[in-house]
Amino acid sequence: MANIDWSKLTFAYTKTNTILITTFRNGEWSPVESLTEDNIKFSTFCGAFHYAIECFEGLKAFRGKDGRIRLFRPEENAKRLRNSAAYLGIEAPSVEMFVDMCKRIVKENEDFLPPYEASGASMYIRPTLIGSNPQLGVQSSKEVTFMMLCSPVGAYVGGALDAVDVVIARNYDRAAPNGSGAYKVGGNYACSLYSLNKAHELGYKAVLYLDPTTKTYIDEFNSSNFFAIKGNTYITPDSPSILPSITNKSLEAVARHLGMEVERRPVPVEELSTFEEVGECGTAVVITPVHKLVDKPTLESSEETVYLYGDGQCGPKSLRLYNYIKGIQRGEIEDAFGWITFVE
Ligand SMILES: Cc1ncc(COP(=O)(O)O)c(C=O)c1O
C-alpha cells in the first residue's frame, strides 16, 4: 500500500501507478494501454485545446468493511458521458467498455485505494474524453481519446459534513438558456470560474446559480446539485440547465425508501425562507450542508438577503440520508438498490 497519510488527503491530485488510454480512429478503439507516465503527447491543434471538445465524469471506488472494493453506480456515469459526447458530436465508449476500464484502473492502482478505516477517503476516478485530432475548423472531432484516470482523495472542502456559506449571484450564470448546462462538458466549468473566483474572494465556498432565463428558480451550484428539506420532504430543482446528478438521484431513492416525500420540481427563490435544511450534493462528498445562504442582486453589491440553516452542523434529515449512502458505499448497509459493482 502506498505510503500516504489518508487522513490528510484533500480533493487534490496524487499521482498513482497508471492511467489508461485508448483512441477512437478510423471507426475503432485502439487496445486500451496502461501508461505509468501521466504527461502524454497531443497535437497542439487538437479540438480539446481550442474548442473545448471535451467531456468527463467523476465517480468513486471504496474499500468496504468486508475488504471488497466497490464502485458506486458506474453505469450511470457511463450513460451520462455518452450523453455529453452526443452533445459534442463525438464518439464515446460503450457502457461495458467504460465499466471495464473503471475496474481495471482501480485494480492497477489498488495501492492507492484508501483503507476502510480511513472513512473520509476514497479513490476518485476521472474518465475523460477529448477531441484529439489536429483541426482548425470548428467541428466535432473525428478522432477522440478516452482516458481513465484516478487519484486517492479526501473531502472536497474542509472536513466531510462541515457546513459552508454560499452565495446567489444574480448577475452571473453558469449555463445559457437552452445551452449546455445538463452536460458534463469542460466548457461549463471554465465559464463558471469568473463568478466562482469572485465568490471565493468574498469568503463563499460556492455560487448558487438561478435559472438563466427568468432568474426566479434555483438551478444548482458550480459542481453540485441543490437540495432542501422541509418537514418530511426532500426537495430538489427540476431544471433543463442542471447536471443530472447521480448522487441526487440516489438521495431521492433513499429518501423514499426511508419514508420521506420527494419533490423534484421548479424551486422558487422565495421558498428558501421555508426550508429547514439546505445542502449541496455530488460525488465528491455526497452532501455538504449549507449554513448561510446569501442572495445578492449582484456579487459586487453590499445589499444582501441572508438565510440561515442549522447551527453549522449537518441537519438531522440530511445526515440520515448521508449515512445511508455512505453505508452502501462502504459495505455497511445492504445494497437494496443494486447500485454497487464489485472490483474483483
Ligand atoms: C455541475 C455539477 N452538478 C452536479 C454534480 C453532482 O453530480 P454527481 O452526483 O453525479 O457527482 C456535479 C459533479 O459531479 C457537477 O459538476
* CB distance 243 to ligand 1 below 6 Å: yes
Looking at residue 155, its pLDDT comes to 67
CA-wise closest residue to 19 among 108, 84, 81, 134: 108
Pick from 136, 128, 126: nearest CA to 23 = 128
pLDDT at 110: 97
**Torsion of the alpha carbons at 274, 168, 55 and 53, rounded to the nearest 10:** 150
CA of 180 to the centre of ligand 1 (A): 14
**Ligand 1 pocket, 236 CB below 6 A?**
no
Q: Strands (DSSP E) along 99-179, which ranges?
A: 122-131, 144-153, 164-169
Structural domains present in the chain: 6-153 (3.30.470.10), 164-329 (3.20.10.10)
Q: Cβ distance 253 to 214 under 8 Å? A: no
- Which H or E element spans position 306? strand 305-308
Question: What is the C-alpha separation between 63 and 234, in angstroms, rounded?
Answer: 29
pLDDT at position 157: 54
Q: How far is the CA of 253 from the centre of ligand 1 (A)?
A: 17
CB-count exposure of residue 138 (10 Å: 0-12, 13-18, 19+): exposed
Cell of 264: 423534484
Find all residues with CB under 8 Å of 66, minimum gap 6, and list them: 331
C-alpha cell at 298: 449582484
Cα 137–chain centre separation: 31
Catalytic entry in 60, 103, 184, 292: 184
Q: Are 46 and 130 in contact (CB under 8 A)?
A: yes
Q: Report phi then psi at 255, rounded to 5.
A: -60, -45
**How far apart are the C-alpha atoms of 289 and 285, rounded to whole Å?**
10
> For position 158, what pLDDT does the model report?
56
DSSP, res 187: H
| Mutational test site, ligand 1, from 195, 247, 325, max ligand atoms within 8 Å of CB | 247
Atom of ligand 1 nearest to the CA of 249: 9
d(CA 254, CA 337): 9
C-beta separation of 172 from 209 below 8 A: yes
In whole angstroms, give the CA distance from residue 209 to residue 275.
18
247 pocket-lining for ligand 1 (C-beta < 6 Å): yes
Identify whether 184 is a catalytic site residue. Answer: yes
Taken in order 138, 140, 144, 149, the sign of the CA dihedral is positive
Chunked in runs of 10, what are the mean pLDDT values of the chain (344 residues)?
A: 89 95 97 97 97 98 97 98 98 98 98 94 97 98 98 74 94 95 97 97 97 96 98 98 98 98 98 98 95 96 96 94 97 97 97
How many angstroms is it from 223 CA to the middle of ligand 1?
Answer: 5
